[in-house]
Amino acid sequence: MIYIQAIVVLGGLGGTLAVLLLIADRFLANYGPCKVAINDRDPIEIEGGRKLLEVFYDNAIFIPSACGGQGTCGFCKITVKDGGGPVLPTELPYLTTEEVEAGTRLACQVKVREDVVVHVKEEYLNVKEFKAVISSARMITHDTRELRLKLTEGEEIDYRPGQYVQVFVPDTGETTFRAYSVASAPSSKTEIELLVRLVPGGLGSTYLHNIRVGDGITFTGAYGEFELDMSEDTELVCVGGGCGMAPMRSILRHIHEVAPTRTCRLFFGARTTDDIMYMNEFQALAGEMKAFGLHYALSEPAQSPGWDGETGFIHESVERHLGTEGRRQAFLCGPPQMVEATMRVLHDRGLTRDQIFYDEF
């Protein structure tokens, strides 16, 4: 009993000490002016104590940071060439041994306490901040809202199909961003569409479910690694679950516009008929395209009287319909379990890692 009490007391003291250190670091530590040198730009002078991600943002450098700096996405990787202190335990789950050796760090975790020299990928230096107004908003399922964002007059955004933007969430007391995939085709440069599923209590999704037509909105972009193979003989396999529909819609609308003879398939997994998105729209596209296979499957068909389509998890549909022949490229987007299970099927069907792109959320 006495041991348990000692452990509880020591644990409490340790926790209190950690909190006091954090408070002291936040409010009392004075690191003085520090220089941050980014790529070949002139060094920026800042007051020490700020996170690199904030320094970048204040200087209009918008690197991917899908979790908004919470240290949970691992997207904000940059190279620290000098300064920056030791790698923190919060960074390690996202870094390989080779990356640690090469100086890769998470910008949202590195606090500037001394002069630092950093390198960010050149492509991020081209990412811009955009202002827009909400030009239309509608619920497309019981929990998912489709928003159309019209950019300020004269502004245009370039993006590849399947890329995402980071929406600024106001009134949170800090700089908060959340990532949302673009659901429109890249030909739509002055207006983009997003699909947002409401996460109860979630900062970003609640903001985007409450925003009204005519309200202003700020976002940065575009981000993401999705890269379409545009050769005519490559079959495109798109697999989406929930809001993972957004990038698939961007890809397939693009293909419909620029290469309607391409062979492609959309697999969309939903729980019930209430979660189905854009089925009529894709049936119409399929009618206009030469070889478009459309596969919607419900994992809870018992809750969906009248459904006579496919049932089961969406990776099972992929397993049923996808052969092993020919050159293919696959795009997956949805919950991690869906992505993992589908990845296994695709490997079984002969696709290699470089033929598969995915985003999990």
> Which x/- pattern over 172-191 shows residues binding ligand FAD (rule: CB under 6 A)?
------xxxx----------
State the minimum distance, in angstroms, from the CB of residue 155 to ligand FAD.
Answer: 21
Q: Which of 204, 221, 240, 301 binds ligand FAD (CB under 6 A)?
A: 204
**Type of residue numbered 310:** E
Closer to ligand FAD at the Cβ: 147 or 151? 147
Report the phi/psi class of residue 242: left, alpha or beta, with left for phi > 0 and alpha for psi in -120 to 50: left
Q: Which of 167, 175, 159, 180 is nearest to 217 (CA)?
A: 167
Count of residues making up the chain: 361
Identify what 74 binds: ligand FES, ligand FAD, none; CB under 5 to 8 Å per kind.
Answer: ligand FES
Q: Does 78 bind ligand FES (CB under 6 A)?
A: no
Closer to ligand FES at the Cβ: 108 or 134? 108
DSSP class of 225: -
Question: 336 CB contacts (<8 Å, ≥6 apart)?
Answer: 360
Q: How far apart are CA 357 and CA 334, in angstroms?
A: 12
Task: Locate 124 and state its tokens.
Answer: 């991020």
Q: How far apart are CA 205 and CA 13, in angstroms?
A: 38
Closer to ligand FAD at the Cβ: 157 or 243? 243
Residue whose beta carbon is closest to ligand FAD: 202
- Provide the strand spans (E) within 91-175: 104-106, 116-119, 128-139, 144-151, 164-169
Q: Which of 203, 258, 259, 286 binds ligand FAD (CB under 6 A)?
A: 203
State the minimum distance, in angstroms, from the CB of residue 132 to ligand FES.
Answer: 22
Contact yes or no for 268/245 (Cβ under 8 A): yes
Identify what 329 binds: ligand FES, ligand FAD, none; CB under 5 to 8 Å per kind.
Answer: none
State the minimum distance, in angstroms, from the CB of residue 108 to ligand FAD.
Answer: 14
Closer to ligand FES at the Cβ: 57 or 268? 57
Residues that bind ligand FES (CB under 6 A): 65-67, 69, 71-76, 106, 108
